[in-house]
Structure 1
Amino acid sequence: MGKDTQTKGTVFVALAANLVIAVAKAVGGLISTSPALLSEAAHSVADTLNEIFLLAALRRSRRRPDAQHPFGYGKERYFWSLLAAVGIFVMGGCFSFYQGITAFHEHEPHTLKAFLIATAVLVISLIAEGSSLVKALLQVRGGAREHGRSFRTELREGEDPTLRTVIGEDSAAVLGVLLALAGVGLHWATGGRQWEAWASLAIAVLLMFVAYRLGKDCRDTLIGEAADPRLRQRAHELLTRQPEIDTVTALLTMRLGVDSVLLAVRVDLTEGIDSETVEEAAVRIKSTLAEEFPELDQIFLDVTDATAEDRREAHELGRSLRAEAARHEGRN
């Protein structure tokens, strides 16, 4: 819950910044008739609505399991983050694309007053968006220290989609403001309005790319993404070390939420174990797994007789888990 409180604070900062900036950009864009500034206004409006989606995700994903949702509501966080990605694409990207296309056919004069208004609004926006981005990145750095991995790895593979969405939005916002500033500046310097049109189109492409990346991450988890390869490999090693287990024939995982993972294991026990010992061993093994890996809050242990084919697959399972964990470690 402490992480959620920190993430909620980051989202609130982004919400406040985007709300104020959206109003400033819209007013400034209407006064200056700058298509690049109006595109950025649409961008900020989309981000503002998306922060509301993310706050809903934080609240709803922590609801307790019930009869209709026995594994809890952890995946709601990914659903609302997916909606946020759609919002970035539709409200930000499509409107910016429209502004860019129409700007090629407009020929309104760009006065010094309009240039100064657009520039002032964009510079203030850059400071506000940059401050929000810095706060989100500081939270990522704290997570990297906690998990003992690099900043880049934490940024790429952090479990919280809400934080990744905020960082994606803020990064796109900072780059979008820089593109708008370039378009406005070149328009003033050359007298060609097409520079702002190109800036609007560049902002549209940027927003659509960010929306695609965020949506892809959420889609993978909603479909049913496996847990971290290192966790799977370590869980497999722990199981194979248990004296009652002869062979681990299958090990399946699925992320249910930010800090919730389902583990389903099929094992063949050593010969000569009576039914009472089997029950005691199952309870102890589950307890050991839960203690070693706190994120494993749903553990299912299936005892079966392994065939010769199962044993061959079990050998391949151990080899593939070690190889995948090694590749994952190498990328980090």
Structure 2
Amino acid sequence: MSAGGGTKAIVAALAANLGIAVTKFIAFALTASSSMLAEAIHSVADSGNQALLLVGGRRARRAATPQHPFGYGRERYIYAFIVSIVLFSVGGLFALYEAYHKFEDPHGITSWHWVPVVVLVLAIVMESFSFRTAIKESNAIRGNATWAQFVRRAKAPELPVVLLEDLGALVGLVFALFGVSMTLITGSGYWDAAGTAMIGVLLVAIAVVLALETKSLLLGEGAGPEEVRRIEQAITEGPEVSRIIHMKTLHLGPEELLVAVKVAVEPYERADDLARDIDAVEARIRTAVPIARMIYLEPDIYHARAGASAGG
């Protein structure tokens, strides 16, 4: 994922959520609707999450240091994981608490009846524009993958996070509109409480999905199947390497891949000839997979009958 594409989607979501949060708080102040309060807190949490993603992207661009020789690319994964925690606690758990409180005191909406409906409809419109931007930026890199595959396989966390947040926001707004509308029709605050509970369950579910996916990135994921295929082809397509003994890859960040390979070569008489050929293989790998920034090739002599290299 390009950093620019992810940043554009984040900024669009941040602008939408800030505006929506203000209108929801005004609607809550006028109507005392728990669905409006839950949605207002949800928008505040989303705004904070987008700010966290922007901070993570900025910090990840710091240069490598002796203490962190592989750089800070994984900061983007750390901040995405924090986002899932914020969404779970501030968004989901608060909505569930507010639903419980409203079930205990199920008062209806007694004034400004039209305000929450208008605010929610406007919020759906604004959130739809943010969601549209996230979909457009994701489609530019998604390829033939399904949306579920894109969320699970994406190495850059920002777009999947924004996509799920925007989807959750839209569905949550529909739940809130349902709860508020039924409360206005029936006069019973239980519908408002039910809409709030539905929002809470939705946000907790999305937060769990985000936590699981970003946890996998934090633990360290290798290159995707297509990238592995291109790396292997780049290594073996020249005359320098007779076979790959074993290979490991690791994402140091969304756009930075470490490649470590032990390769079998024919015996060389001169070390400078071996070094030249290894450099040629590295150049082919970088051409085939530009994000392969750090490449470590270990040449060895492979004994076919023993099924192992001379060096082990």
1:275 is aligned, of 271, 274, 277, to 271
Query: Does structure 2 conserve the Cα–Cα contact (< 8 Å) formed by 1:75 and 1:222?
Result: yes
CA distance in 1, matches of 2:217, 2:152: 14
Letter in 2 for 1:122: L
Report SS of the residue matched to 2:290.
Answer: coil
Query: Does structure 1 conserve the Cα–Cα contact (< 8 Å) formed by 2:258 and 2:293?
Result: yes
| Residue aligning to 1:175 | 171
Report SS of the residue matched to 1:298.
Answer: strand
1:216 maps to 2:215: no
Q: Write the deviation string for residues 218-247 of structure 1: whole angstroms up to 9, x where unpaired.
A: 111111111111111221233233323233
CA distance in 1, matches of 2:77, 2:68: 16
| Residue aligning to 2:298 | 302
| Residue aligning to 1:121 | 119
| Residue aligning to 1:244 | 240
The structure-2 alpha-carbon separation of the partners of 1:120 and 1:276, relative to structure 1 and needing over 3 Å to count, comes to: same
Letter in 2 for 1:250: H
> 1:214 Cα shift?
1.4
Report SS of the residue matched to 1:104.
Answer: helix
CA distance in 2, matches of 1:306, 1:30: 75
> 1:151 Cα shift?
6.3
Q: Write the deviation string for residues 138-181 of structure 1: whole angstroms up to 9, x where unpaired.
A: 1112224xxx5356354553332112111111110000000000
Query: Does structure 1 conserve the Cα–Cα contact (< 8 Å) formed by 2:59 and 2:75?
Result: yes
Query: Does structure 1 conserve the Cα–Cα contact (< 8 Å) formed by 2:240 and 2:281?
Result: no
Identity of aligned residues (%): 30
| Residue aligning to 1:25 | 24
Number of residues paired by the alignment?
A: 306
Report SS of the residue matched to 1:29.
Answer: helix
CA distance in 1, matches of 2:104, 2:208: 29
Moved more, 19-28 or 132-141: 19-28
The structure-2 alpha-carbon separation of the partners of 1:204 and 1:299, relative to structure 1 and needing over 3 Å to count, comes to: same
> 1:267 Cα shift?
1.4
Query: Does structure 1 conserve the Cα–Cα contact (< 8 Å) formed by 2:230 and 2:289?
Result: no
> 1:9 Cα shift?
2.5
Query: Does structure 1 conserve the Cα–Cα contact (< 8 Å) formed by 2:59 and 2:72?
Result: yes
> 1:52 Cα shift?
0.9
CA distance in 1, matches of 2:241, 2:108: 79
CA distance in 2, matches of 1:273, 1:137: 56
Letter in 2 for 1:193: G
Give the alignment's Cα RMSD to 1 decimal.
1.9
| Residue aligning to 2:137 | 139
Letter in 1 for 2:292: L
Query: Does structure 1 conserve the Cα–Cα contact (< 8 Å) formed by 2:106 and 2:193?
Result: no
| Residue aligning to 1:158 | 154
> 1:304 Cα shift?
2.8
CA distance in 1, matches of 2:268, 2:15: 66
CA distance in 1, matches of 2:59, 2:146: 28
Unaligned runs of 5+ in 2: none
| Residue aligning to 2:60 | 61
| Residue aligning to 1:52 | 51
Query: Does structure 2 conserve the Cα–Cα contact (< 8 Å) formed by 1:179 and 1:202?
Result: yes
Letter in 2 for 1:79: I
CA distance in 1, matches of 2:290, 2:65: 21
| Residue aligning to 1:4 | 3
CA distance in 1, matches of 2:144, 2:269: 42
The structure-2 alpha-carbon separation of the partners of 1:135 and 1:116, relative to structure 1 and needing over 3 Å to count, comes to: same
Q: Write the deviation string for residues 112-147 of structure 1: whole angstroms up to 9, x where unpaired.
A: x34311111111111111111111111112224xxx
Structure that is richer in helix per residue: 1
CA distance in 2, matches of 1:243, 1:169: 50
Q: Write the deviation string for residues 52-74 of structure 1: whole angstroms up to 9, x where unpaired.
A: 10110121111222222221211
Query: Does structure 1 conserve the Cα–Cα contact (< 8 Å) formed by 2:251 and 2:258?
Result: yes
1:149 maps to 2:144: yes
What aligned pairs does 1:277-292 form with structure 2 within 5 A after superposition?
277-292=273-288
Unaligned runs of 5+ in 1: 312-332
1:230 is aligned, of 208, 212, 226, to 226
1:106 maps to 2:101: no
Letter in 1 for 2:240: E
